[in-house]
Amino acid sequence: MFKLNLEPNQPKSHPGDQVFDVLIVGAGSAGLTTAVYTSRDGWQTLVLDKEAPGGLAGSTHWIENYPGFPDGVEGPELMDRFKAQAERFGAEITAYERVRRLEKNQAGLFELTTEDDRVYRARAVLLATGSEPQQLGIPGEETFYNQGVSYCATCDGPLYKDQDVAVIGCGNSGLQEAQILLQYARSVTFVEYLDHSIAEQVLQDRVKSSAKSTCLLSHAAREIQGDEQVTGLVVENLETGREEQVDVSAVFIYIGYTPSTDFLEGFLDLDESGYIITDREMSTSVPGVYAAGDVRADNLAQVAVAVGDGAKAAVAIREYLQEQAPVPA
């Protein structure tokens, strides 16, 4: 039986003059794939993540469209396999290291500074920081975060067994994550701004076939209510303008994602939405810095695509490092 092992590693103490061949920011599908390749090639590889390894895929309950798993696979299990494979080849993976700044020093090395003021240096960098859930920006959302407001059904869904919950957003993310809510909750109310769902048809069919589901299309969430915990959600019917309250114990929000690139502004080229611009080899506007996965502009947010990005980036990094003369520490 495969044992999940997404436990975070503690930051290790590195000598101040240590230089890694490859520094990867982000331990999701793309970052871990690159780590498998670069560490297997013999390049000294360090992977940092602001949270536990796994990325968004690691918090996805069930993944059915990743090749090689005909019956589907749990997101945490799949990502643990990625992590174990990278570590097998010698990659070092460290969690809870949030990056504050990335720059290039006079010696030609990349220096990455974390919020804890740790400084890591490397000859090449891969940015696989992914994206973070967007917020609605409505009253009660911030107040009741972790008190009924959640952006991760896989993480928090089991807490609401036999209770009524709501899901905001009926795209792929919302309906996919709702599968776990339908297992635990007494009822799930879906709220969608559009008059239709843009999710894959198989996900729509599953939601519609569940007796626990209620779908409010052409509705917008206006306020999350509660005392110490969430007790209700106010929604507006966009066709009539009428507001109504839905009694729920939790609100799960899936309205899109924002790229995790705030520390990169001014360092390399980003598009108007903050995603990293790359060429076909995953190279950014800064030689020696590459990007892969959901953080890359014009990218399809799928595990299989992120894996492909990671492999292409690894090959480009190999060629880049082979062309560089050794850099003194």
Indicate the length of the chain as a whole number: 329
Report d(CA 223, CA 329) in Å as an integer.
55
> Tokens 């190279």 sit at which residue?
283
Q: What is the DSSP string of 211-240?
A: TTEEEEETEEEEEEEESSSEEEEEEEETTT
The vertex-281 CA angle with 276 and 283, nearest 5°, equals 40
Which amino acid, 173?
S
Query: By C-alpha distance, which of 158, 148, 155 is closest to 54?
Result: 155
> Tokens 């520490």 sit at which residue?
329
Report d(CA 328, CA 305) in Å as an integer.
36
Contacts of 235 (CB under 8 A, 6+ apart): 191, 216, 219, 220, 221, 222, 243, 244, 245, 246
Kindly tell me the burial class for residue 242, based on how many C-beta atoms sit within 10 Å of its own C-beta (0-12, 13-18, 19 or more). Answer: exposed
Catalytic residue list: 152, 155-156
